[in-house]
A = this chain, B = another copy of it.
Amino acid sequence: MASVPPTGRTRVRRLPQRAVYHRDDIYAILDEGFLCHVGFVIDAQPFVIPTNYARQGDEILIHGSAASRMVRALAAGVDVCVTVTLVDGLVLARSPFHHSVNYRSVVILGKARLVSDPGEKLEALRCLTDHIVPGRWDEVRQPTEQELKATSVLSLPLAEVSAKVRHGPPVDDQSDLGLPVWAGVVPLRSLPGAPIGAEDLMPGTPPIDLNRFDRRRP
């Protein structure tokens, strides 16, 4: 499996046994998630903004209003950090110190590029839409020129990237194992609930299939 060589900035220093540098493993985390947190700096103040994303090949795509501060900053080529975090469970130990969270996170560093080619931009928007609901793009009305103009797409290469993963049971001190308190993992999963159809749905519109929202990829 191809691995991404860590740089001085992406090498995991704390608990390096949790580091993941294999590209397939990193991409699997990115493909399961859809929410990222984008970090950038304006006037020495860092900002961290949540937004959705999609992976396309060796790039991460994000989009937003062409007028947004984040989009304008990223398009100007500032240094950026995009972080994706999946929380898999709460780890309950016999001492507070060994409590933990099972998670998978990816950190991407670099500079974004504004996607300006019209064909590439349209394909990127399709990718962003279909990443959240597979096949959605072909079901809905296509974007107008005005909508395309109002939306900017940014691409960040998956070059300087690393992941960190914790899984498995609590690791308690040997001397605490006799305590009569429950310890273990409480799994957490984000699950779709019953869909709430718009009030003005066309009569006879077929319901949405909830299986399309299962984010675990084969």
Interface residues of A (CB under 8 A from B): 9, 13-14, 35, 37-41, 44-50, 52, 65, 67-69, 79-83, 85, 87, 89-90, 92-97, 99, 101, 103, 105, 107, 109, 125-126, 129, 132-133, 136-137, 139-144, 147, 150-151, 169-170, 172, 176-202, 204-208, 210, 213
Contact A188/B184 with A37-B83, A65-B14, A95-B140 known, Cβ cut-off 8 Å: no
A200's contact among B47, B69, B177, B191, by CB below 8 Å, is which? B177
**Chain B: which residue is nearest A45 at the CB level?**
B79
- Integer count of this chain's copies in the complex: 2
- Chain B residues near A170: list those with CB within 8 A: 198
**Residue of B whose beta carbon sits closest to that of A46:** B39
**Partner pick for A181 among B82, B87, B140, CB 8 A cutoff:** B140
Residues A83 and B48 in contact, CB atoms below 8 Å apart = yes
Q: Are B190 and A147 touching (Cβ within 8 A)?
A: no
Q: Judging by beta carbons under 8 Å apart, are B37 and A99 in contact? A: no
